[in-house]
Amino acid sequence: MTYTKAFFEQLDKQDPLASFQAKFALNAGEIYLDGNSLGARPKAALARAQQVVEQEWGQDLIRSWNKHQWFELPYRIGNKIASLIGAQDGEVVCTDATGLNLYKAVSTALQLNPSRKVVLMEGSNFPTNNYMVQGLLSQLGDDYQVRFVEEAQLLEQIDEQVAVVCLTQVHYKTGRVLDMQAITEYAQQKGCLVVWDLCHSAGALPVDLNGANADLAVGCTYKYLNGGPGSPAFIFVAKRHHNRAQQPLSGWWGHSAPFDFKRDYQPGFGISQMLSGTQAILSLTVAEVGIDLMCAADMQALRKKSQALTRYFIELLDQECGQYGFELVSPRDDEKRGSQVALSHAQGYPIMQALIDAGVIGDFRAPDILRFGFAPLYNSYVDIWEAVQRFKSIMDNEHWREAQFNQRHAVT
Amino acid sequence: MTYTKAFFEQLDKQDPLASFQAKFALNAGEIYLDGNSLGARPKAALARAQQVVEQEWGQDLIRSWNKHQWFELPYRIGNKIASLIGAQDGEVVCTDATGLNLYKAVSTALQLNPSRKVVLMEGSNFPTNNYMVQGLLSQLGDDYQVRFVEEAQLLEQIDEQVAVVCLTQVHYKTGRVLDMQAITEYAQQKGCLVVWDLCHSAGALPVDLNGANADLAVGCTYKYLNGGPGSPAFIFVAKRHHNRAQQPLSGWWGHSAPFDFKRDYQPGFGISQMLSGTQAILSLTVAEVGIDLMCAADMQALRKKSQALTRYFIELLDQECGQYGFELVSPRDDEKRGSQVALSHAQGYPIMQALIDAGVIGDFRAPDILRFGFAPLYNSYVDIWEAVQRFKSIMDNEHWREAQFNQRHAVT
């Protein structure tokens, strides 16, 4: 078939998630396809920020720790995130940054598997995960090591040497989805624990950590959960592992009796031990607004729309720009693709710059990848049509030749 | 002499810092003496939060990493903090939480002194520091240990076994100031490195890290720097130690080429390596407002006012409530007292509750300590008079007997 604008307009009319778009502050005329890097702003985030600054900080001051339950925020928001990723109440806290939580998670997993010393990761992973694990292992001694593999060798490299398999479910560059259930089961049969990074999964597709019998997981809230720039991350520990190991970033919020001000550390029960110190309350409170919005969405409908948005974008690009030599880096199979489309092109950098100048906001990843993230809560089907028309115009007219080389790389 | 209200009114008229009070949002009729726990809100913080949420996040979205220099914030704000604590440009970054920065700092210091295995700390320290060091040492192996001492034995316990002396300059409970210069010099003569915690120093009194030849330091921004609840902390590394050790929380913001997305970690140069991952931008941007205000103040005038506020509070309490059995826990010597006054009393808990009910906001620390923090930027001299009159009324009328026992402990 040949796609037309009317086709996409019709899809928008039938979209069960269409009402969410009005909850977001979007720039008129701009098509924002970078929610896989920084999610758009929920309109309600502004009033929430004002309330926290004016009332909770300004007026209630120190009393807010009780009155506005600031101490409870990591648990309350954690439980909301838990509902999005197949976890139970009390298995997730919202706290700190993703890399720090990964440090806690891998350290915990290594303690739970003390006879083995290898952490297996994808070398092409978003590198901060590699870096944090390298930092952790440098503390533990020379007998610990990272084994880097790529997807094709993944299963064969999961063997009896491996203590912990640490994988990102949806690849930050290609958008490829790993089979969480199958890999977890296989790795556990080999005697490994599995730590999942859900940065590009949470709010992008249904995740079922307990259904997959996952051990630990981490993820961020500023991409598909629309929590705001650098908003606090989350960490999941399956209940069966609670109280069996102690993570090393052992601050007072993770103590069993934080207000007793005891001299020595005594880990708190359950997920509380994954907390470290005082949290960035303003960022944390505002993050809850985006998470609440996601909790109101049906995750199956969201996945269906995400697959349709990315599929139609790929197919319309084939139709309109097929002659320009783009290669699809993301899987064409809907089941294996997260909520983004990655293309490669030798002129990827200036083409992305021209797209941004034309109000189609994606991002570029070296050496040659153009990434387009689709957020089903605020991207419409007509966005696809409009984005590809602008894309076609840039290619037809070679506008990318004039594009200014003023873009620094944006965040993952 | 006998103190009168007129005396304090006269001091306010002569106060060179008086104009700062109007920059803060304070509750009418309330005397806030808990800035040593959570600093009051600068009025300008509200507009800044609105701007970041609406424009930087909402409109400029991913472009803000460049357009609003989000990546530069830890350095820009770090340099401002550096100017308050006797450090140079490029020696401080504003990032993460205090405990996490302490973990980085002590780990770095241990690497710089590899033949020794002991970290010396005050057992009565704010305990999260102890906990974080215990967590760190648990990673490093059984030959590492913490040696807890108290102030009276401090110097004699700094010996050739000690790798790192890790001390909080101003004690969180008593407000006692340690002699940074003398202790640093003594410890370095014994072959130790010194890590200073400035949580109750930064913005409370002049600090001269380089004048004292300090090695590393950490501190928070939500107390006397008025950065907002849980606002990001800071870390200082003296230039002579740059590029000589690698901290283990090695995320991509500390990489030498973060946007090359290399597989393996390579530490960045200088202070940049103390960064870990993506920062909580909303909390970080708003923190800068309070730090800017502090940078506009003369630190010598601030110290002089701080000493006067705390001294007159102590002396007026002696005059008005001398018969009620309070004991001064803070040093009476101005030079040895930070910007807070701690008293002990067997009925400390209900008395503090009655004070809070009467609009005098201090806090309570078990088992029997009442803490009153004085922030020279927004506390006036008449605040002392008014606070003590309410204090006297509570004691004279035994109002504390009725005080509700509904206060949970507040944050340090």
- Classify A225 as helix, strand or coil: coil
User: Which of A128, A265, A356 lies at the smallest CB-CB distance from B134?
Assistant: A265
CB contact under 8 A, B124 and A411: no
User: Which of A130, A222, A252 lies at the smallest CB-CB distance from B131?
Assistant: A252
| CB within 8 Å of A286: residues ≥ 6 apart | A45, A48, A49, A52, A227, A228, A231, B53, B282
Average pLDDT, consecutive stretches of 10 residues, N- to C-terminus, chain A (412 residues): 96 98 98 98 98 98 96 98 98 98 98 98 96 97 96 97 98 97 98 98 98 98 98 98 97 95 96 97 98 98 98 98 97 98 96 96 94 98 98 94 58 45
User: Which of A37, A140, A284 lies at the smallest CB-CB distance from B62?
Assistant: A37
CA dihedral A406, A411, B253, A96 (to 10 degrees): 150
pLDDT score of A403: 74
* Spatial contact of B211 and B180, defined as CB atoms under 8 Å apart: no
Q: DSSP states of B7-45 as a string?
A: HHHHHHHT-TTGGGGGGEE--TT-EE--TTTSPPEETHH
DSSP alpha helix (H) spans, B62-169: 64-67, 73-84, 98-112, 127-140, 154-157
Distance CA B107, CA B256 (A): 20
- Kindly report, residue by residue over B353-385, the tens digit of the pLDDT: 999 999 999 999 989 999 999 999 999 999 999
What interface predicted TM-score (ipTM) does this complex get?
0.96
B285 among annotated binding-site residues: no
Among B36, B53, B235, B369, most A C-beta atoms within 10 A, so best to mutate, is B53
Distance CA B253, CA A392 (A): 36
User: Which of A127, A138, A254 lies at the smallest CB-CB distance from B263?
Assistant: A127
Residue B7, token pair as written in the block: 């005396």
User: Which of A37, A62, A100 lies at the smallest CB-CB distance from B37?
Assistant: A62
User: Which of B46, B135, B250 lies at the smallest CB-CB distance from A131?
Assistant: B250
CB contact under 8 A, A37 and B279: no
Q: What is the mean pLDDT of residues B34-59?
A: 98
Contacts of A286 in chain B (CB under 8 A): 53, 282
How far does B122 lie from chain A, in Å, by closest CA?
9
pLDDT score of B404: 53
pLDDT score of A233: 98
DSSP run (H or E) holding A109? helix A98-112
pLDDT score of B411: 45
* Spatial contact of B45 and B286, defined as CB atoms under 8 Å apart: yes
Q: Which of residues 150-189 of B touch A (CB under 8 A)?
A: none
Q: What is the CA radius of gyration of chain A?
A: 22
CB contact under 8 A, B41 and A49: no
CA dihedral A290, A294, A295, A296 (to 10 degrees): 110
B131 among annotated binding-site residues: no
B97 touching A (Cβ < 8 Å): yes
Residue B374 DSSP label: -
Domain spans of chain B? 5-32+299-401, 47-295
Q: What mean pLDDT, rounded, does chain A reach?
A: 96
Q: What mean pLDDT, rounded, does chain B reach?
A: 96
- Kindly report, residue by residue over B160-201, the tens digit of the pLDDT: 999 999 999 999 999 999 999 999 999 999 999 999 999 999
CB contact under 8 A, A130 and B282: no
- pLDDT over 70 percentage in chain B: 98
Distance CA A108, CA A236 (A): 11
pLDDT score of B402: 83
> Active-site residue numbers of B?
126, 197, 222-223, 371
Q: DSSP states of A176-188 as a string?
A: BBP-HHHHHHHHH
Task: State yes or no: pLDDT of B84 exceeds 50.
Answer: yes
Distance CA A108, CA B125 (A): 27
CB contact under 8 A, B53 and A62: no
* Spatial contact of A166 and A137, defined as CB atoms under 8 Å apart: no
In CATH, B47-295 is 3.40.640.10 = yes
Beta strands in B190-339 (DSSP E): 193-197, 216-219, 234-237, 327-328
* Spatial contact of B388 and B318, defined as CB atoms under 8 Å apart: no
DSSP alpha helix (H) spans, B238-298: 281-295
Task: State yes or no: pLDDT of B412 exceeds 50.
Answer: no
Q: Which of residues 33-92 of B touch A (CB under 8 A)?
A: 34, 37-38, 40-41, 45-46, 49-50, 53-54, 56-59, 61-66, 70
- Classify B328 as helix, strand or coil: strand
Place B409 in a pLDDT band, splitting at 50, 70 and 90: very low
- Classify A340 as helix, strand or coil: strand
- Kindly report, residue by residue over B298-347, the tens digit of the pLDDT: 999 999 999 999 999 999 999 999 999 999 999 999 999 999 999 999 99
Its CATH class, for the domain covering A5-32+298-401, is: alpha beta
CATH superfamily of B5-32+299-401: Aspartate Aminotransferase, domain 1 (3.90.1150.10)
pLDDT score of A280: 97
Contacts of A141 in chain B (CB under 8 A): 141
How far does A393 lie from chain B, in Å, by closest CA?
23
A98 among annotated binding-site residues: yes
Q: What is the mean pLDDT of residues B46-66?
A: 97
CB contact under 8 A, B128 and A410: no
Place B408 in a pLDDT band, splitting at 50, 70 and 90: very low
* Spatial contact of B146 and B119, defined as CB atoms under 8 Å apart: yes
Q: Which of residues 270-329 of A touch B (CB under 8 A)?
A: 276-284, 286
CB contact under 8 A, B282 and A286: yes
Contacts of B411 in chain A (CB under 8 A): 62, 65, 278
Q: How far is CA A363 from CA A38, A320, A342, A360, B360, in A?
A: 11, 20, 10, 10, 53
Q: How many other β-carbons are positioned within 10 Å of the β-carbon of residue B40?
A: 25
Q: How many other β-carbons are positioned within 10 Å of the β-carbon of residue B318?
A: 13
CB contact under 8 A, A246 and B138: yes
CB contact under 8 A, B62 and A27: no
Residue A237 sits at φ, ψ, to 5 deg, of: -130, 125
3-state helix, strand, coil in chain A (%, to 5): 45, 15, 40
B200 among annotated binding-site residues: yes
| CB within 8 Å of A233: residues ≥ 6 apart | A94, A95, A96, A97, A98, A100, A101, A218, A219, A220, A221
How far does A32 lie from chain B, in Å, by closest CA?
9
* Spatial contact of B331 and B343, defined as CB atoms under 8 Å apart: no
B32 touching A (Cβ < 8 Å): yes
CB contact under 8 A, B53 and A286: yes
Same fold yes or no, A5-32+298-401 and A47-295? no
Q: How many other β-carbons are positioned within 10 Å of the β-carbon of residue A22?
A: 9
> Active-site residue numbers of A?
126, 197, 222-223, 371
Residue A29's region, left for phi above 0, alpha for psi from -120 to 50, else beta, is left
CB contact under 8 A, A278 and B411: yes
Distance CA A303, CA A291 (A): 17
